Amino acid sequence: MDRKDMLIEMPGKPVDFTGGLEFSNLTYTVTKKKKIEGTWLKEEVDLLNKITGDAPKGCITAVMGPSGAGKSTLLDGLAGRIASGSLKGKVTLDGKETSPSLIKRTSAYIMQEDRLFPMLTVFETLMFAADFRLGPISWSDKKQRVENLVDQLGLTTTRNTYIGDEGTRGVSGGERRRVSIGVDIIHGPSLLFLDEPTSGLDSTSAYSVIEKVHNIARSGSTVILTIHQPSSRIQLLLDHLIILARGQLMFQGPPKEVTLHVNRLGRKVPKGENSIEYLIDVIQEYDQSEFGVEVMAEFARTGLRPPPLSNDEGNSAVLSTVPASPITPARRFRNQMETSVSVGGGTNIGKRLPLHASIIAASKEFDRSVRSPYNNSTRSPWSASHSGIVQTLRFTPSTQRNDKKLHNPMR
């Protein structure tokens, strides 16, 4: 069947888009050196390739994908952290074209590593950030904003606790991450970028962080974050997804539409399995095939369904790098016994034979070399008793001294 006959109508941008960050045809190309036969050659690599999408206002947009998909690169590009001229494409904020310098002034970027002073308390850390970011406003106004932020981030019980470090006991990992977020949002940015905010946190702490970020988004900010393998509870807090692979767009839209996207591929999410994780598994399966992820990117862009894989069984997208277990003679014989076995001229179909019959038939396939444990006809020249090792160990000098009573010449 011609692939043109497999064209499927894909959903476009929602008509109720009320603002936020929009981007189209984002492309970021770098030059890498590659050594071939002793000669260094330059090669251009696309870290981002024609990425088009949006991040709605008042929502959490999560950038997901396998390792090396380009999640952090896309986040840096949208935040204006890539050198001017290197990133090609168009970025608009609330319908107006913007520049990297403007985005930097109106946004906050929270990195994976927390850079905080361990000798300050939570309240002192946020007041220190307020003095730098809020400008010439009264001290009482700064304090009031910090108090509101402490309450918003759920840090009321730890407001007077030291941040701490490896040598000083302080706040927990989740609280530390929330303090880092508070430092960067004290000035009320309209855009918030977070690079792996749940990295290194347990499930409960990670959920608490995303829950606070969800509340920040609901207050009117546009939140874009990268996240790796979120829990099912965290996925319920995500409003918009952007799934990448090899720097190309695989899916964009609400999480509830992932199942429909998988169905358009001709697949079906197995019962009880997470649809987002299943889609990423399918993407990795195509990445390891002869087609690559380009066919998945074309499907997301035009609706042209990718060709089926050779190992497709209509519903399976299971990846396994573990080789199959070798079939031993005994196992092969058991498989044969399940179907049909003929012994002594009689045929028993679908019946198990007695144990002695199984041993007789299976022994025909055993290894009869001198090293085989099944060969009892001759003594193996490698056995310990034959080589004299046992005798040597049995009559060592230390053993002889222990067996005989030592003679004391002083008596």
Write out the chain's pLDDT in tens, 411 residues.
Answer: 455 545 555 555 544 555 789 999 999 988 888 878 788 888 888 899 999 999 999 999 999 998 889 999 999 999 988 877 788 899 998 888 888 888 888 899 998 888 899 899 999 999 999 998 888 889 999 999 999 999 988 899 998 999 988 888 889 888 999 999 999 988 888 899 999 998 888 889 899 999 999 999 998 889 999 998 888 899 999 999 999 999 999 999 999 999 999 999 888 999 888 999 999 999 999 999 889 999 999 999 888 888 888 765 444 444 444 444 455 555 555 555 544 444 444 444 444 444 444 444 444 554 545 454 545 544 444 444 444 444 444 444 444 444 444 455 454
Helix (H) or strand (E) holding 356: helix 355-362
C-alpha distances in Å from residue 96, one per residue of 84, 306, 374: 19, 36, 81
Q: Where in the chain do CATH 3.40.50.300 domains reside? A: 3-302
Dihedral sign, Cα of residue 162, residue 163, residue 169, residue 171: positive
Positions of E strands within 196-264: 222-226, 240-245, 248-253
Q: Cα 5 to chain center, whole Å? A: 34
pLDDT given for residue 341 in this prediction: 42
* DSSP letters for 49-65: EEEEEEEETTSEEEEE-
CATH number of this structure's domain 3-302: 3.40.50.300
Which distant-in-sequence residues (6+ apart) come within 8 Å of 30 by Cβ?
A: 44, 45, 47, 86
C-alpha distances in Å from residue 290, one per residue of 9, 22, 67, 314, 406: 25, 33, 20, 19, 79
**Nearest to 196, CA basis, from 229, 240, 163, 164:** 229
Residue for token pair 């179909």: 349
pLDDT given for residue 304 in this prediction: 87
Which distant-in-sequence residues (6+ apart) come within 8 Å of 283 by Cβ?
A: 65, 66, 243, 245, 250, 293, 296
